[in-house]
């Protein structure tokens, strides 16, 4: 059975821990190492706070052409930076060839 995990800073992931997600604090381990471990354990979805997502785009990009795991950018405690929506647009455009999402 596939699982989901959350990667972010301690304060950003506390709520996810509370509802039962496997949560990883990037202040305790290196992002690259966490992702390798999750990939080996067959995690299907890895939620990453937008701040951490942006800083580790090169690691995440290595998984772009793989089916699993899927990386989803989520807002942190400081709010959204817009990278999550940008990724949805990019994936939609890649899948169907045109941006069908309404601009803000």
| Burial of residue 21, with CB atoms counted within 10 A of its CB: 0-12 exposed, 13-18 middle, 19 or more buried | middle
Range of 70's domain? 3-78
Please report whether residue 88 resides in a domain: no
How many domains are contained in the chain? 1
Q: Is residue 91 part of a domain?
A: no
pLDDT digits (tens, 9 = 90+) for 40-49: 999 999 999 9
Note whether residue 58 is domain-resident. yes
| pTM exceeds 0.85 | no
Strand partners, 47: 6, 72
Query: What is the CATH number for 25?
Result: 3.40.50.10580
Residue 22 within a domain: yes
Is 51 inside any structural domain? yes
DSSP β-bridge partners for residue 73 = 48
Evaluate whether residue 21 is within a structural domain.
Answer: yes
Structural contact between residues 7 and 48, judged by C-beta atoms closer than 8 angstroms: yes
Question: Does residue 65 fall inside a structural domain?
Answer: yes
Residue 29: inside a domain: yes
pLDDT of 30-87, one tens digit each? Answer: 999 999 999 999 999 999 999 999 999 999 999 988 989 999 999 888 777 777 777 7
């Amino acid at each position: 059975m596939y699982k989901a995990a959350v990667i972010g800073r301690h304060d950003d992931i506390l709520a996810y821990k509370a509802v039962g997600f496997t949560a990883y604090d990037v202040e305790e381990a290196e992002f690259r190492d966490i992702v390798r471990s999750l990939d080996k354990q067959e995690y299907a979805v890895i939620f990453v706070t937008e701040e951490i997502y942006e800083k580790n785009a090169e690691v995440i990009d290595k998984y772009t052409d793989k089916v699993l795991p899927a990386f989803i950018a989520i807002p942190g405690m400081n709010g959204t930076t817009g990278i999550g929506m940008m990724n949805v647009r990019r994936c939609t455009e890649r899948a169907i060839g045109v941006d069908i999402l309404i601009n803000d």
